Chains A and B, each alone.
Chain A
Amino acid sequence: DAGVIQSPRHEVTEMGQEVTLRCKPISGHNSLFWYRQTMMRGLELLIYFNNNVPIDDSGMPEDRFSAKMPNASFSTLKIQPSEPRDSAVYFCASSTQTASYEQYFGPGTRLTVT
């Protein structure tokens, strides 16, 4: 099993540009999570999908952030326009169920907005 796949691994962009992060969950997992990790705030849940449907997006910081899951094997997190304070590591995780089952994290995308 290849695990959760994320791309790109690193992204450097200028303020105001659009950024798209990609995630391929583990095959067979029906739950997908996007997290943001910073030194100040640790890991924060941004959005949770179950069976490709967004269940909870209350963690999405602003309207500049949007996420989609068009099918069971692909999800995107988009930031438009990006700002320097969006600089962080963004993780995608998947699981077979919610809560009681282990979430498997991808390697993350390190985003730097200058």
Chain B
Amino acid sequence: KNQVEQSPQSLIILEGKNCTLQCNYTVSPFSNLRWYKQDTGRGPVSLTIMTFSENTKSNGRYTATLDADTKQSSLHITASQLSDSASYICVVSPSNDYKLSFGAGTTVTVRA
């Protein structure tokens, strides 16, 4: 069964600090992995996408890594801002299949 597990479930950090979110998956065959950001009351918005051959992808202060061998990904937030407070969802896409596998998300709270 295709599964995506994220950790931690939630975290609180002070503004300006860094944090790292983890994602482990068992989806096979693998096509790509995306990190989505979901603000409260909004729909998820894609931050990064990585395919099998990519190890790192950055989008501003967000940096995602992928280890396809161990089936692990991480999302690193640098110099956090209050606007980074949101839920971050790891989404894995299998090859030749429209059914995405969603993680439960990590809720990040940035405090001043």
Q: Please, how many residues of chain A have a CB less than 8 angstroms from a CB on the other chain?
A: 21
In the complex, chain B residues whose CB is within 8 Å of the CB of A107: 41-43
**8 Å CB contact of A106 from B31, B34, B43, B94:** B43
* Interface size of B as a range: 20 to 34
Q: Which residues, 13 to 69 on B, are CB-close (under 8 Å) to A?
A: 31-32, 34, 41-46, 49
In the complex, are the beta carbons of A100 and B31 less than 8 A apart?
Answer: yes
In the complex, are the beta carbons of A43 and B43 less than 8 A apart?
Answer: no
A-side interface mostly: strand
Nearest B residue (CB) for A10: B41
In the complex, are the beta carbons of A42 and B43 less than 8 A apart?
Answer: no
Interface residues of A (CB under 8 A from B): 4, 31, 33, 42-43, 45, 48, 55-56, 91, 93, 98-100, 102-103, 105-108, 110
Interface residues of B (CB under 8 A from A): 31-32, 34, 41-46, 49, 89, 93-100, 102-105
The 4 A-B residue pairs with the shortest CB-CB distance in the complex, in nearest-first order? A105-B43, A98-B98, A43-B102, A42-B104
